[in-house]
Amino acid sequence: MSNTRQRMGILTGGGDCPGLNAVIRAAVKTASNEYGWEVLGIEDGFEGLIKPHKARLLDIADVRGLLPRGGTMLGSTNRANPFHYEVSTNGAVKVFDVSKTVLHRARDYGIDGLLVIGGDGTLRIAQELMQQGLHVVGVPKTIDNDLYGTEVTVGFDTAVTTAMEALDKLHTTAESHHRVLVTELMGRHAGWIALAAGVAGGADVILMPEIPYHLDVVAEKIQQRNQSGAQFSLVVVAEGSRPRGGEAVYQAERDVGGVSRLGGIGEVVAAQLRRMCQTDVRVTVLGHLQRGGSPTAFDRLLATRFGAMAVHVMAQGTVGHMVALHHGHITTVPLSDAVSRQKQVPLDSDLVRAALGLHICLGNRRQAIVAE
């Protein structure tokens, strides 16, 4: 950004997560303190550039007290893709490309660079807008941690902590009642939350999208535990998990944007285990609780480092990149790389090996999961 360009736009898109406000705070303070820029907050993701009157100037007073607050002060939506914008009139849905409106409004607002805080969907839109001339810098966020190009995304650590605390609570009641408790966690394409929270929360079984499961292997694990005297089991299931040769479970309704909503795998697994193990099985779906709450110290630090670095990157004129964590350092990667593929849990990772070593069942036999 040159001296003549001095207004930075900022927006949060896609599903919210803890730590978004901490990114906004760091970016506003850095832009103002270090460069003397104005910051324009865009409301509700790209919707705020599609529709009029959805932007406001943010100064340091506006971000006071934001650090521990969950959610996003700017609002967010996962229904405002300018390249595929759905408008519903009298029950009929029409799709429009309103990307030119976004570019024009950004120019009318005097935005010289746009800081886009988002997951893969939002950053893919940012990348396409960049190709049409908008100067964007990305900040990676999603509780799912499935964004390629960064080791960790903002929000993941807090979601894992929330899920782990839930498992700690479920543990005691499972033990008291000699039950199998199935917990469905978020994780559309990847099992990062399920694996991390499952290991940290002492789960006996962890099912995730990366390893299509065999229910007989899971039932065997539960029966072994019963026979060894541990008459309860904690089963963690990522929402995007599926049986070997089978499909993921979706809710009947389809969201605007044509995205099918996952949900219900916990009940499916529970019904089958109830029958196979002849035991009492209950289900907890943690759902959006994982997206709420105050960010952990890790997320506050990551968000602050990402927000500050994103502004420096913009000041250097490096657009079309996303800030990222690599070997503990903040670096940048081209947005095109970041959105090129999904980041799934590598089956040769030390966490997978550790889980198997602890005899946590990952839904399949060890030899089918890792090459020795």
Q: Does 19 bind ligand F6P (CB under 6 A)?
A: no
The smaller minimum CB distance to ligand F6P, of residues 221 and 291, is found at 291
Query: Segment 341-370, which members bind ligand F6P (CB under 6 A)?
Result: none
Q: Near ligand F6P by CB under 6 A, which window of 25-33, 124-132, 138-146, 269-277?
A: 138-146
Assess whether 108 carries a catalytic annotation: no
Tell me which residue has tokens 């009947």: 252
Q: Near ligand F6P by CB under 6 A, which window of 18-26, 29-37, 91-99, 181-189?
A: 181-189
The smaller minimum CB distance to ligand F6P, of residues 1 and 262, is found at 262
Q: Does 143 bind ligand F6P (CB under 6 A)?
A: yes
- Check if the beta carbon of residue 243 is closer than 8 Å to that of residue 211: no
**Cα–Cα distance measured from residue 308 to residue 289, given in angstroms and rounded to the nearest whole number:** 28
Of 58, 262, 303, 325, the residue at the interface with ligand F6P (CB under 6 A) is 262
**Cα–Cα distance measured from residue 142 to residue 16, given in angstroms and rounded to the nearest whole number:** 8
Distance set, CA 191 to CA 61, 92, 198, 274, 290 (Å)? 39, 36, 10, 24, 14
Backbone angles phi, psi at 261, to 5 degrees: -95, 120
Q: Does 142 bind ligand F6P (CB under 6 A)?
A: yes
Query: Segment 76-115, which members bind ligand F6P (CB under 6 A)?
Result: 78
**Cα–Cα distance measured from residue 181 to residue 173, given in angstroms and rounded to the nearest whole number:** 9
Total residues interacting with ligand F6P, rule: CB under 6 A: 13
Of 187, 198, 209, 293, the residue at the interface with ligand F6P (CB under 6 A) is 187
The smaller minimum CB distance to ligand F6P, of residues 255 and 348, is found at 255
Number of H helices, E strands in the chain: 12, 15
Q: Which of 16, 44, 144, 157 is catalytic?
A: 144
**Cα–Cα distance measured from residue 265 to residue 249, given in angstroms and rounded to the nearest whole number:** 5
Tell me which residue has tokens 């700017």: 74
Residues that bind ligand F6P (CB under 6 A): 15, 78, 119, 142-144, 186-188, 239, 255, 262, 291
Catalytic residues: 144
